[in-house]
Amino acid sequence: MPAAFDEMRGSGGDLRPAYLQLARWLGELPPGFLPQRMREAELLFRRIGITFAVYGEADASERLIPFDVVPRILAASEWATLTRGLEQRVKALNAYVKDVYGKREVLRAGIVPEDLVFQNPVFRPEMNAQRVPHDIYVFIAGVDVVRVDADSFYVLEDNVRTPSGVSYMLENREVMMRLFPDLFARHRVAPVENYPDELLATLKSAAPATAAADPTVVLLTPGIYNSAYYEHSFLADKLGVELVEGRDLLVKGEIVYMRTTEGLKRVDVIYRRIDDDFLDPLAFRPDSALGVPGLMSAYVAGNVTLANAVGTGVADDKAVYSYMPEIVRFYLGEEPILKNVPTWRCREPGHLAYVLAHLSELVVKEVHGSGGYGMLIGPRADKATLAAFRARLERDPKGFIAQPTLALSTVPTCVEEGIAPRHVDLRPFVLTGRDRVRIVPGGLTRVALKKDSLVVNSSQGGGTKDTWVLDA
């Protein structure tokens, strides 16, 4: 694997301009200063209460995601490129979802194979030919981006169902500003604190035509047992909207209402953090106790906006991902600004043969997996793991894609032996309203804390960092 690009030192070891002040500051610090600040940060997070349920760990149903106090810094020009690329990508994703549930031109043109849509478990036949308010499907997208050198950003994954993590972006910034006011004084860091305002503006802009002038927005959560419940309550609080569970809402005459102490109140926009399957027991899983009976009937009648729309998952699984460059060209007639990682679709026999022959060099992922589960990193796997994965691939080739192992960029990180480079990715949040696209400068940087590890998922021992975008 080639040496990784370091965002502070580049490939050659010379300091990159965005990091000049940070490097100087790090050099001035007395020994023991950063570890002390790390402990303070942890205390602050414990007091705020950010926790994250880690699947597969019975003894730790809630645990703190490690936070690294060394910020990751992006120059204004780098952010400008990213912004253009993200906006383009999300525009194409929206057009794709609309088309798949509408005219299906992308299928007729042969850009995406029909079975990838119709046989996709997250395709929702119920959405077929239904109009959604203002034709917006993906209001909130979390696009995972990695970089491999000074100029190349790759999209690793699109998340257009119920992407999470934005609370960390906001909390990380708040904690950093408390701990390091002097470091902020040396930089012009673009703010991220306005994210809740931007999100609320986005949601309100998408209210159905029948809504009141000041639409009522609620955040629908599956409840306290959901791994992201903290984020749901945090965001509802920041947005100044009601945090509701399914039982707090009801549908009457194709209108959604919220039960309040003063009686029923009409709801216009639902920022839902419940998966499609559980939204409405009359339309989807009949055993769902989390949803709202009849919600889909109000939705298809055009009386409520769901953000994100039902069925957006058809745009973000890993098999569809491999078609994204063509999807961008098809709908926008433009070349994609952000790169796609070359992807072998194991559903195609030729691709599968290549993947099986090069397993030890590739990263293999489940088409419907997430969170870094069920993934093979060929170069790091032992023989037994490779053999087991080979068997899985041969059994269910459609369930997998493979990619070259990318040398993710590294960023200085505070670890036991001092400051050392660790691999990172970035999840910026892209908001699409009726009026415009909004992207706050920054996002969630996830860092693989283990030396040489490429897995940044918090469920697999990754941590987070504050992400600074410098004003020009």
Partner 1 sequence: MRIRIRHDTTYHYDVPVGGVIQMLRLTPRNHDGQFVVDWRIDVSEDCRLDAQEDAFGNIAHVFTADGPFVALTVLVEGEVETQDTGGLIRGAVERFPPSLYLRETALTAPDAAIAGFAADARAAAGADPLATLHEMLARLHRDVVFDTDPTHAATTAAEAFALGRGVCQDLTHIFVAAARALGIPARYVGGYFHRSDGVVAQDAGHAWAEAHVPALGWVAFDPANGICATEAHVRVAVGLDYLGAAPVRGARDGGGAESLAVRLLVDQAARQVQS
Residues that bind partner 1 (CB under 8 A): 114-115, 118-119, 123, 125-130, 250-254, 281-283, 286, 293-294, 297, 300-301
CA-based nearest residue to 268, from 332, 318, 215, 344? 215
Contact between residue 331 and residue 92 where contact means Cβ atoms under 8 Å apart: yes
User: Least distance in Å: CB of 112 to partner 1?
Assistant: 13
- Count the neighbouring beta carbons within 10 Å of the beta carbon of residue 285: 15
- Specify the residue, 286 or 349, whose C-beta has the smaller distance to partner 1: 286
User: Least distance in Å: CB of 11 to partner 1?
Assistant: 48
Give the span between the Cα atoms of 48 and 176, in whole angstroms: 14
- Specify the residue, 283 or 375, whose C-beta has the smaller distance to partner 1: 283
- Count the neighbouring beta carbons within 10 Å of the beta carbon of residue 212: 9
User: Least distance in Å: CB of 286 to partner 1?
Assistant: 6
User: Least distance in Å: CB of 289 to partner 1?
Assistant: 10
φ, ψ (nearest 5 deg) of residue 242: -70, 135
Contact between residue 412 and residue 70 where contact means Cβ atoms under 8 Å apart: yes
- Specify the residue, 128 or 152, whose C-beta has the smaller distance to partner 1: 128
Q: Maximum Cα–Cα distance for the chain, whole Å?
A: 67
φ, ψ (nearest 5 deg) of residue 185: -65, -25
Contact between residue 298 and residue 305 where contact means Cβ atoms under 8 Å apart: no
User: Least distance in Å: CB of 311 to partner 1?
Assistant: 10
Using N-to-C axis directions, what is the helix angle for 166-179 and 229-239, rounded to 10°?
Answer: 70
- Specify the residue, 129 or 185, whose C-beta has the smaller distance to partner 1: 129
- Specify the residue, 63 or 103, whose C-beta has the smaller distance to partner 1: 103
- Specify the residue, 57 or 396, whose C-beta has the smaller distance to partner 1: 396
User: Distances from the Cα of 59 to the Cαs of 62, 151, 231, in angstroms?
Assistant: 9, 43, 21
Contact between residue 292 and residue 256 where contact means Cβ atoms under 8 Å apart: yes
Contact between residue 408 and residue 425 where contact means Cβ atoms under 8 Å apart: yes
Give the H/E segment covering residue 293.
Answer: none
- Specify the residue, 104 or 329, whose C-beta has the smaller distance to partner 1: 104
User: Least distance in Å: CB of 439 to partner 1?
Assistant: 33
- Specify the residue, 87 or 126, whose C-beta has the smaller distance to partner 1: 126
Give the span between the Cα atoms of 283 and 301, in whole angstroms: 14
User: What order of strands is seen across the sheet that includes strand 376-377?
Assistant: 344-345, 400-404, 362-366, 376-377
User: Least distance in Å: CB of 251 to partner 1?
Assistant: 6
User: Least distance in Å: CB of 282 to partner 1?
Assistant: 5
- Specify the residue, 100 or 393, whose C-beta has the smaller distance to partner 1: 100
User: Least distance in Å: CB of 302 to partner 1?
Assistant: 11
Give the span between the Cα atoms of 243 and 239, in whole angstroms: 10
φ, ψ (nearest 5 deg) of residue 128: -60, 130
User: Least distance in Å: CB of 275 to partner 1?
Assistant: 15
- Specify the residue, 242 or 277, whose C-beta has the smaller distance to partner 1: 277
Both tokens assigned to 126: 């119920």
CA-based nearest residue to 445, from 229, 59, 144? 144
Contact between residue 169 and residue 127 where contact means Cβ atoms under 8 Å apart: no
